[in-house]
Amino acid sequence: MIAIGRPFWRALSGGKRVSLLPGGVHPIIYALFDAEGQLDRQAMRRQVEVCIAQGAVGIATLGLATEVRFLSDAQQRQLVEWNVEDIAGRVPLGVTIFAQTPDEQIERVHHAAAAGADWVVLQPPASAVDETSLVAAFSRVLEASTMPAALQNMPQFIGVGLGVEAIADLAARHKRLIGVKQEVSATETAELVARLAGRAQVLSGRGGIELVDCMAAGVAGNIPAPEYADYLVTLWDHMSAGREDEARDVYRRILPIATFVLQSLEALTTYGKLLFCLRYDIAFHQRAGAMAPTAFGLKALEGHARGLGIDTSSWHAQLASVLDTQNQGSQQ
């Protein structure tokens, strides 16, 4: 059942969808590992505290940035349970649901609900290969869901997605569908916002790329990874207050580093995650088999961070350690 006690939800009544996510930045957290390759309990707790201190209005988990496709079922469940415990109801928690089939996704929705999460984001299941099969898969999960749900539409990374009309049809047929994480261009996002006409919220992602334009188009939130989410919060606040020039100034500083870390999912979970760890003094350990940072990449990351206005003067020891660890690994 819907978590009626949560302060940000409004009850569903009269056949109308009136549940709303708070407007603003909802960081999606990284999976942080220890030196043995296990999920790091203390680092994950620290990450939640950082996100809330950054000004997050919500937190999301188990997304592509969380490397969900490389986590075991047990690890995925553990992260959800840790996140619920650490957030402790201070902001809403959204759980991304990825699985091979709709039936497996339904099981994971039920676990998220039982653990105490507030809403879910449905990724295309691996069994969906085109728009027709994806509509059928999402419908199957939405019909069985006991939670408010959003859809993730990111065809350039996931390989399959939905057009505006298909999303509008799903929104019209399923009251549990409260939103869409629309990770395409701002012009396409504007078309979806207009077509939905308030039947479901639209949230952007893509690390805040085009966020000023997406906000002008009417998005209700942004779901980035957390490495520079505090800057996106500042941008959001400026735009919300009508200070578009100030918002664009912040965006100009964000764009180079956003472009660098979002070259690929591997770049995000290597350089984006490393940036987060460097900024907040968290030990950086890669998942086994993940892309390794290079000396050139570390230098570029440091330069882009300085361009954003981040003090990198204390990074040298950790950067040297990261590179040394990588060199040792390549010699084994």
Task: CATH number of the domain at 247, please.
Answer: 3.20.20.70
- Kindly report the average pLDDT of the chain as a whole number: 92
Is residue 42 a part of any domain in this protein? Answer: yes
Mean pLDDT of the 191-211 span: 97
pLDDT of residue 54: 97
Is residue 18 a part of any domain in this protein? Answer: no
pLDDT of residue 300: 97
Q: Is the pTM of this model over 0.85?
A: yes
Is residue 214 a part of any domain in this protein? Answer: yes
Percent with pLDDT over 90 in the chain: 86
Please state the domain count of the chain.
1
Q: Work out the pLDDT band at 323, boundaries 50, 70, 90.
A: confident
Is residue 19 a part of any domain in this protein? Answer: no
pLDDT of residue 2: 32
Amino acid identity, position 266: E
Long-range contacts from 308-312, C-beta under 8 angstroms, 24+ separation: 308/228, 308/231, 308/253, 308/254, 308/256, 308/257, 309/253, 310/279, 312/278
Residue pLDDT, tens place only, 236-263: 999 999 999 999 999 999 999 999 999 9
Is residue 317 a part of any domain in this protein? Answer: yes
Is residue 228 a part of any domain in this protein? Answer: yes
Is residue 301 a part of any domain in this protein? Answer: yes
Q: Work out the pLDDT band at 19, boundaries 50, 70, 90.
A: low
| Count of residues making up the chain | 332
Residue 239: domain span: 24-331
pLDDT of residue 317: 87
Q: What is the 3-state secondary structure (H, E, C) of the chain?
A: CCCCCCCCCCCCECCECCCCCCCEECCECCCCECCCCCECHHHHHHHHHHHHHHCCCCEEECCHHHCHHHCCHHHHHHHHHHHHHHHCCCCCEEEEECCCCHHHHHHHHHHHHHHCCCEEEECCCCCCCCHHHHHHHHHHHHHHCCCCEEEEECHHHHCCCCCHHHHHHHHHHCCCEEEEEECCCHHHHHHHHHHHCCCCEEEECHHHCCHHHHHHHCCCEECCCCCCHHHHHHHHHHHHCCCHHHHHHHHHHHHHHHHHHCCCHHHHHHHHHHHHHHHCCCCCCCCCCCCCCCHHHHHHHHHHHHHHCCCCCCCHHHHHHHHHHHHHHHHC
Is residue 242 a part of any domain in this protein? Answer: yes
Least confident range of 190-199, 279-288, 293-302, 315-324: 315-324
Amino acid identity, position 130: D
Q: Work out the pLDDT band at 160, boundaries 50, 70, 90.
A: confident
